[in-house]
């Protein structure tokens, strides 16, 4: 059971802005950077945002990340049908000698 909580679903129409939240605690998001992964059905996750707000090469600038205190957010602006996927936040947790933890995941639907 994940210690990073995300809403199960989010949706928007093409062109809209969608925001996904990721809530953690002082032992994870509060003390370590947050990363975001995008996963299409039947495929491996792909790194979307690293170190809170950095985009890997090839990721459109429609995707942006932010972090404040013990929470983080992923924003998708100019929503496209190709953005329909599952999104996971992740961070390092300093408790129990340290471990990497993924969020509960959010399914984004383009209406």
Partner 1 sequence: QVQLQESGPGLVKPSETLSLTCTVSGDSLSLYYWGWIRQPPGKELEWIGYIYYTGSTYYNPSLKSRVTISVDTSKNQFSLKLISVTAADTAVYYCARGKLRYTTSGSRSHYFDPWGQGTLVTVSS
- The contact set with partner 1 (CB under 8 A) reads 2, 31-33, 35, 37, 43-47, 50-52, 56, 88, 90-92, 96-105
- Cβ proximity to partner 1, 1 vs 13, nearer residue: 1
Q: How far apart are CA 73 and CA 76, in angstroms?
A: 10
How far is 80 from 2, CA to CA, in rounded Å?
29
8 Å CB contact between 108 and 8:
no
Closer of 13 and 97 to partner 1 (Cβ)? 97
Nearest to partner 1 of 46, 62 (CB atom)? 46
Question: Considering the complex, what minimum distance in angstroms separates the CB of residue 20 from partner 1?
Answer: 14
Q: Give CA–CA dist 97/88, Å, rounded.
A: 23
- Cβ of residue 52: shortest distance to partner 1, in angstroms? 7
In the complex, minimum distance from the CB of residue 15 to partner 1, in angstroms, rounded to a whole number? 29
Pick between residue 13 and residue 41 the one whose CB is nearest to partner 1. 41
**Nearest distance in Å: CB 34, partner 1:** 8
């Amino acid at each position: 059971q994940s210690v990073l909580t995300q809403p199960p679903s989010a949706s928007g129409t093409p062109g809209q802005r969608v925001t996904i939240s990721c809530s953690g605690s002082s032992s994870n998001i509060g003390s370590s950077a947050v990363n975001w992964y995008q996963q299409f059905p039947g495929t491996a996750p792909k790194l979307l945002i690293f170190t809170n707000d950095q985009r890997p090469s090839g990721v459109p600038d429609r995707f942006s990340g932010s972090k404040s205190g013990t929470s983080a957010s992923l924003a998708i602006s100019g929503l496209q049908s190709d953005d329909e996927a599952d999104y996971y936040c992740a961070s390092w947790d300093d408790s129990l000698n340290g471990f990497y933890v993924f969020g509960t995941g959010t399914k984004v639907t383009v209406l």
